[in-house]
Structure 1
Amino acid sequence: MWVRVLGSAAGGGSPQWNCGCPVCHRVRRGSGTPRSQSSIVVSPDRDRWFLVNASPDVRHQIEAFPGLHPRGSRDSPLRACLLTDAEIDHTLGLLLLREASGVRLFATPAVHKTLTDGSGLLPLLERFCPVEWTPVEPGAGFRLADGLWCEAFDVPTTKADRFGTGTIPGRVVGYRFTDENDGATVVYLPGAQRLGPAVRSEISGSDLLLLDGTCWHDDELIDLGLAGKTSREMGHLPVLESLAALDGLGVRRTVFVHMNNTNPILLDDSPEWLIVEENGMEVAMDGLEIQVVEQ
């Protein structure tokens, strides 16, 4: 099984267009690496690829990866898109796929309802191409492709619902992918408010964990004078707390994704980046590709 990180930053990317925080300043100055908005692709064979979250940067991300380039006049290796939530930075890219003959979409009923009745994104997309929606039920696994098994799991959140349609479970999910040939497992969890027992059970023993790394500490945006909410209030567990929470779960490789533009771990010479490394974990870059095999 192969996983490629198309975008490793949170909404707005790094640097964010309207932000002059210390990290964005460093990136603009050339002493930090730019990153696009969060998404990955997963494949059982490097021939068929499945997009997880369609960021506003999806066109650039596809062009940056030859493995996603068309093989013929309209023969894309991109087979479907899975959504972890209905956030605009995870779904706006669906509109940029409108030239397709159709879009196969895997999403929970809660996410589908938000995108239909709330933001109206799916009805707009359907004006350009058919959308084939496959409902995803947390806890119910399904075969995504020959050799690739997938299961979504609910990630409870108290984050405010912008559209008033998120009263049922499945507003936010993570995905666990399993290679049916060798049993290798990948967990993609770009949004998690806390790592409770049920979520810890899904993470436990995975060969690769791609985990929410939005903020370094809970008051990051407040301390910078950029927002009035904590990381948890925005639905994200701070990295500083994740480092301890992951202890003892038997995860073979942990890579942080979905970093906010303010997070100092975006700079590979920062003390915070060094702490992540000293804990045996990693910070994703756009274009990071990993072949995952069971150990």
Structure 2
Amino acid sequence: MRVRILGAAAGGGSPQWNCGCAVCRAVRSGAAPARTQSSVAVSPDGREWFLFNASPDVLGQIAGLPAVTGGRRTPFGAVLLTDAELDHTLGLVLLREAPGLRLFATPAAHKTLTDGSGLLPLLERYCPVSWTPVVPEAEFALGENLSCRAFDVPTTKRDRFGLDPRAPGRVVGYRITSGGAGVVYLPGVQALTPAVLERIRGCDCLLIDGTCWSDDELPRLGLGRKTSREMGHLPVSEGLALVAGLDVPRIVYLHLNNTNPMLLHDSPERGIVTDHGAEVAFDGLELEV
């Protein structure tokens, strides 16, 4: 199975257009690489790819997938959503020229896209969308030799659209399996509960939420009021040791906020991550699992 990190950053990318933090300054100066917004592509064979989350940077990201060589078709088999956040779904509208889209999302995410942000009715005015409900803990096939199982990731993050904040499936992770190899994709996690840890155990590669290094990162920098947890993300500094103790062969942090000092190669925080045997994702990173 091949996994390609299309976008390694959180919402806004790195650098974020309106931010002058140390990391954004470093990226603009060329001292650190730029990163686009969070998305990955998975393929069992390097020919057929499946897109996990559709970021606002999706058009540039999928340019690296196998090119369409005749007529017009969609260069990936389906889009799977972990939630209905704008940074994971705005790209759906940019795919409106598709002859059709297969969309896998939980009923909670589908309701938000329909009754909240309204992105799905907008997209459906341009192209047909085939929605397959994702039921946590129910395994389903994506293509030949590729299957998925979603699992619920509890969150107390406020629902911006006033829908039921307690609805199951607002945020999910995916365990993706091909030929006996397993990858867990978890770009948003507020707490590593026993149930979430159980879904991670035994996988060959973990792609996990690395939004903020510390809980007070944004308030301390004067860039926002919310803590990392209030935004729905466990700080890396508080979860790193637990994640590293899971005996997963490869751990990659992604969905990295532009303020996260892990983005700087020479930062102490990057050194701590490396010392724990984990990696910091960058756009274009490709993994063979």
Q: Normalised by the size of structure 2, how large is the TM-score?
A: 0.98
Structure 1 residues 39-98: Cα deviation after superposition (integer angstroms, max 9, x where no partner)? 0000111111000000000001112x1x33213221443110000000000000001111
Q: C-alpha separation between the residues in 2 aligned to 1:285 and 1:131?
A: 31
- What is residue 26 of structure 1 aligned with on the other side? 26
Q: C-alpha separation between the residues in 1 aligned to 2:257 and 2:242?
A: 20
Q: Is the 8 A contact 1:102 1:131 kept in 2?
A: yes
Q: C-alpha separation between the residues in 2 aligned to 1:198 and 1:189?
A: 13
- What is residue 286 of structure 1 aligned with on the other side? 283
Q: Is the 8 A contact 1:47 1:77 kept in 2?
A: no
Matched residue count: 288
Instruction: Supply the AA of the counterpart residue of 1:291.
Output: E
Structure 1 residues 117 and 76: alpha-carbon distance in aligned structure 2, compared to 1, 3 A threshold: closer
Q: C-alpha separation between the residues in 2 aligned to 1:256 and 1:89?
A: 17
- What is residue 141 of structure 2 aligned with on the other side? 143
Q: Is residue 2:221 matched to residue 1:224? A: yes
- Quick check: 241-250 or 218-227, which moved more? 241-250
> C-alpha displacement at 1:233, in angstroms?
0.6
Q: 1:203 aligns with which of 197, 200, 203?
A: 200
SS at match of 2:93: helix
Moved over 2 A (4+): none
Q: C-alpha separation between the residues in 2 aligned to 1:165 and 1:75?
A: 35
> C-alpha displacement at 1:241, in angstroms?
1.3
- What is residue 164 of structure 1 aligned with on the other side? 162
Q: C-alpha separation between the residues in 2 aligned to 1:104 and 1:165?
A: 24
Q: C-alpha separation between the residues in 1 aligned to 2:160 and 2:15?
A: 25
- What is residue 233 of structure 2 aligned with on the other side? 236
Q: C-alpha separation between the residues in 2 aligned to 1:109 and 1:101?
A: 24
Q: Is residue 2:267 matched to residue 1:270? A: yes
Structure 2 residues without counterparts, runs of 5 or longer: none
Q: 2:112 aligns with which of 106, 114, 134?
A: 114
Structure 1 residues without counterparts, runs of 5 or longer: none
Q: Normalised by the size of structure 1, how large is the TM-score?
A: 0.96
> C-alpha displacement at 1:250, in angstroms?
2.0
SS at match of 1:32: coil
Q: Is the 8 A contact 1:206 1:250 kept in 2?
A: no
- % of aligned pairs identical? 67
Q: How does 1:41-190 map to 2 (within 5 A)?
A: 41-63=41-63, 65=64, 67-166=65-164, 167-179=166-178, 181=179, 183-190=180-187
Structure 1 residues 61 and 247: alpha-carbon distance in aligned structure 2, compared to 1, 3 A threshold: closer
CA RMSD of superposed structures (Å): 0.9
SS at match of 1:163: coil
Q: Is the 8 A contact 2:215 2:227 kept in 1?
A: yes
- What is residue 215 of structure 1 aligned with on the other side? 212
